[in-house]
Amino acid sequence: MSLKVDYSSVRQALERIDRVVHHTPVMTSKTLNNITGYEIFLKCENFQRGGAFKFRGAYNTICQLTKEEKEKGVIAFSSGNHAQAVALASKLLGVHAVNCMPSDSPSIKKEAAKGYGGESIFYDRFRENREEIASRFSEEKGMSLIPPYDDPRVIAGAGTAALELLQEVESLDTIVVPIGGGGLISGTSIAAHGFNSKTRIFGVEPESANDTLISLRKRNRISIDPSNTIADGLRATTPGTLTFPIIQEHVEDIVTVTDDEIMRAIYFAVTRLKIIMEPSAAVTLAALLANRFPIQKKRIGVIVSGGNIDPLLLAEVCQLNSEF
Amino acid sequence: MSLKVDYSSVRQALERIDRVVHHTPVMTSKTLNNITGYEIFLKCENFQRGGAFKFRGAYNTICQLTKEEKEKGVIAFSSGNHAQAVALASKLLGVHAVNCMPSDSPSIKKEAAKGYGGESIFYDRFRENREEIASRFSEEKGMSLIPPYDDPRVIAGAGTAALELLQEVESLDTIVVPIGGGGLISGTSIAAHGFNSKTRIFGVEPESANDTLISLRKRNRISIDPSNTIADGLRATTPGTLTFPIIQEHVEDIVTVTDDEIMRAIYFAVTRLKIIMEPSAAVTLAALLANRFPIQKKRIGVIVSGGNIDPLLLAEVCQLNSEF
């Protein structure tokens, strides 16, 4: 397996997953454009199979395993969406999947992973090291570890969402992407700069999970304390070893948003766009609504990364904001 | 103005509104298909301008007014979405609009109508007759009354959603549509049977607002007591004089759903489809999930009529269902 990810890896990934992936719609909103002053194109991966872009990387990885590897099964560790994606991709490919997920993941993600047929193991993300647990499991049973972001096949798969977006919408100047471990923004950057080297790429992180922003500033991968941000998919405490150099090379800057801004963005998506964004996806909308990017009057692509929000959190969002 | 609505009225309406209307996406869901056993195509008018299909009829009507009529302005009476649509269409056409709406309309609808620039008058729908209020207003000021459904231009406009759906999705056997005053299902029926005379049309009403079902059975327009169903757009107490004969001619049958079933359908749309349906739109999904149609293994088109749900009701939906 080559560790290099380039434009052709993303294009090959799209060919590989083309028949099983949803070609998700690109939405526009006059209201959103009026408020922000941009022309915004929302690539709706919340409508992707499994409810998030993660299915792209999971399928692209598992379908490339050898017959022997497929027979031994796969193991994943993630905050939820990746586990769910691995369970679904595995089911479609006839592969046994074990998911190793934090015990405080939203119940909707736990149930969904179960619904797709995966076996689940829970751990305490404040006390246990998930990589160690999962590695032990894979060594004992010979299962293939499917990393959530730090893998060239996963990164290439994640980049296919941007590739579809660029093929559908002409002349995008800028793409904005949420950052957790950095898989989505890495794949997006490679796809975008392969398509047009002048595309500007911005990342968005929660204020309390800004490991990539700090790492970029210090030019070194920095670890931060675990965050409790509502953007549960973006709680990674350090950028990936593969993703960080890609981010350094391609990403112009990173902006941050607060949990309160994320909640207002989810509310905006519900009441004005009529779509569900999970908190980890809504960070980009939050940053756009807060006018946080140093760009003017541009055509901006946004990767809406997922829609698996906990219904109880959504209830809270609806109640809080209706008083504004 | 001819009172007749036929297939060419719908096609002409689509030509007339083509440049201003959103050509809303058609969504599919493997999960929904697996659960129901149908192949379902959701025509997402919740993404329409103003958040509902109503914009189609309002624009089609107001754009056909004479210059003199446009100068005197328009008045509408509706449970909210139509008022909002009239306000938006009027704004785009430079026409002054007054909306006459029930005082207990969801706050999101009141605010949205205000947001589009319309002037609002409120009335008590249990004590006052909205038609009389609005007629008086139009006589005194010479404003044109834009009826919510009982008007050939409004019906033809409403039918353009189905026409777009039929042009995009091949071989639909059946279309299911919510029924309030009957404008949407009338326009849909005419479009569908103009396109293919064999298309089966089913309507859905809330159990407590089943005026059209009773009227169909008694072969006569029957008035029922005002309903408090959460499907606030479907609270009409009697079918329209124009719409009822169309429904009698074209609609195969009507099924009903309870408010509890509607809430579960909204929950399903949020958690599985990642889209917002207002209660009046979710009646069709509720009927599909409850397996209420006497049809098997078919390609079914669904007009998702709107997405303007009160956030507090959505909060309730999320809380209730998360305990199931």
A257-286, pLDDT tens digit by residue?
Answer: 999 999 999 999 999 999 999 999 999 999
Q: Is A307 on the interface with B (CB under 8 A)?
A: yes
The C-alpha atoms of residue A257 and residue A17 are separated, in whole angstroms, by 33
The answer to whether the Cα torsion of B267, B268, B274, B275 is positive or negative is negative
How crowded is residue B306: how many other Cβ atoms within 10 Å of its Cβ? Answer: 33
Q: Using the beta-carbon criterion (under 8 Å), do A315 and B312 form an inter-chain contact?
A: no
Supply the pLDDT for residue A32: 96
Which tokens in the block code for residue B75? 């008045």
Active site residues of B: 54, 79
Is the pLDDT assigned to residue B324 strictly greater than 60? no
> CB of B173 within 8 A of CB of B165?
no
The average pLDDT across B101-128 equals 77
> CB of A276 within 8 A of CB of A267?
no
Supply the pLDDT for residue B323: 47
**3-class secondary structure, A207:** helix
> Cβ-count burial of B75 within 10 angstroms (0-12 exposed, 13-18 middle, 19+ buried)?
buried
Is the pLDDT assigned to residue B258 strictly greater than 70? yes
Within 8 A of A319 by CB-CB distance, chain B residues are: 311-312, 315
Question: What pTM does this model have?
Answer: 0.93
Cα distances from A17 to residues A63, B14, B23, in angstroms, run 9, 37, 28
Instruction: Say which residues have a Cβ less than 8 Å from residue A95's Cβ, sequence separation at least 6.
Output: A62, A65, A70, A73, A74, A89
Confidence of residue A324 (pLDDT cuts 50, 70, 90): very low
The C-alpha atoms of residue B282 and residue B44 are separated, in whole angstroms, by 12
Give the DSSP letter of residue A52.
B
The average pLDDT across B69-81 equals 88
**Tokens 């959603």, located at residue:** B161
Supply the pLDDT for residue A293: 95
The C-alpha atoms of residue B204 and residue B140 are separated, in whole angstroms, by 38
Which tokens in the block code for residue A191? 């796809």
Within 8 A of B19 by CB-CB distance, chain A residues are: none
Q: Using the beta-carbon criterion (under 8 Å), do A307 and B49 form an inter-chain contact?
A: no
The C-alpha atoms of residue B261 and residue B208 are separated, in whole angstroms, by 13
Is the pLDDT assigned to residue B159 strictly greater than 50? yes
* Portion 2-31 of A in contact with B at CB < 8 A: 25, 27, 30
> CB of A112 within 8 A of CB of A84?
yes
Amino acid letter, A212: T
How crowded is residue A295: how many other Cβ atoms within 10 Å of its Cβ? Answer: 14
Supply the pLDDT for residue B122: 86
Residue A256 dihedral angles phi and psi, to the nearest 5°: -120, 160
CA nearest neighbour of B162 among B63, B78, B53: B53
CA nearest neighbour of B8 among B243, B193, B251, B199: B193
Pick the residue of A274, A308, A309 with the most B CBs within 10 A to test the interface with B by mutation: A274
Give the DSSP letter of residue A225.
P
Which tokens in the block code for residue A20? 């099983």
- For chain B, how big is the Rg over CA atoms in Å? 18
The C-alpha atoms of residue A64 and residue A81 are separated, in whole angstroms, by 20
Cα distances from A268 to residues A263, A274, A304, A310, in angstroms, run 9, 8, 14, 17
Q: Using the beta-carbon criterion (under 8 Å), do A271 and B319 form an inter-chain contact?
A: no
Q: Using the beta-carbon criterion (under 8 Å), do B275 and A271 form an inter-chain contact?
A: no
* pLDDT tens for each residue of A60-113: 999 999 999 999 999 988 768 898 899 999 999 999 999 887 788 777 667 766
The average pLDDT across B136-140 equals 81
* A275 → closest Cβ in B271, B274, B315: B274
Within 8 A of A273 by CB-CB distance, chain B residues are: 47
CA nearest neighbour of A75 among A91, A87, A88: A87
The C-alpha atoms of residue A263 and residue A278 are separated, in whole angstroms, by 10
Q: Is B282 on the interface with A (CB under 8 A)?
A: no
Chain B residue with the nearest C-alpha to that of A315: B315
* B274 → closest Cβ in A271, A276, A318: A276
Per residue, the 3-state secondary structure of chain B, as one string, reads CCCCCCHHHHHHHHHHHCCCCCCCCEECCHHHHHHHCCEEEEEEHHHCHHHECHHHHHHHHHCCCCHHHHHHCEEEECCCHHHHHHHHHHHHHCCCEEEEEECCCCHHHHHHHHHCCCEEEEECCCCCCHHHHHHHHHHHHCCEEECCCCCHHHHHHHHHHHHHHHHHCCCCCEEEEECCCCHHHHHHHHHHHHHCCCCEEEEEEEHHHCHHHHHHHHCCCCCCCCCCCCCHHHCCCCCCCCHHHHHHHHCCEEEEECHHHHHHHHHHHHHHHCECCCHHHHHHHHHHHCCCCCCCCCEEEEEECECCCCHHHHHHHHHHHCCC
* pLDDT tens for each residue of A218-243: 999 999 999 999 999 999 999 999 99
Top-confidence residue, A152 or A133: A152
Q: Which domains does chain B possess?
A: 7-52+152-318 (3.40.50.1100), 55-146 (3.40.50.1100)
Report percent pLDDT > 70 for chain A.
Answer: 96
Instruction: Say which residues have a Cβ less than 8 Å from residue A85's Cβ, sequence separation at least 6.
Output: A50, A52, A54, A55, A56, A57, A58, A59
Least confident of A96-100, B105-109, B309-313: B105-109
Confidence of residue A53 (pLDDT cuts 50, 70, 90): very high
Largest distance between two CA atoms of chain A: 57
ipTM entry: 0.92
The C-alpha atoms of residue A151 and residue B272 are separated, in whole angstroms, by 29
* Length of chain B in terms of residues written: 324
Give the DSSP letter of residue A306.
B
The C-alpha atoms of residue A269 and residue B137 are separated, in whole angstroms, by 37
Top-confidence residue, A207 or B120: A207
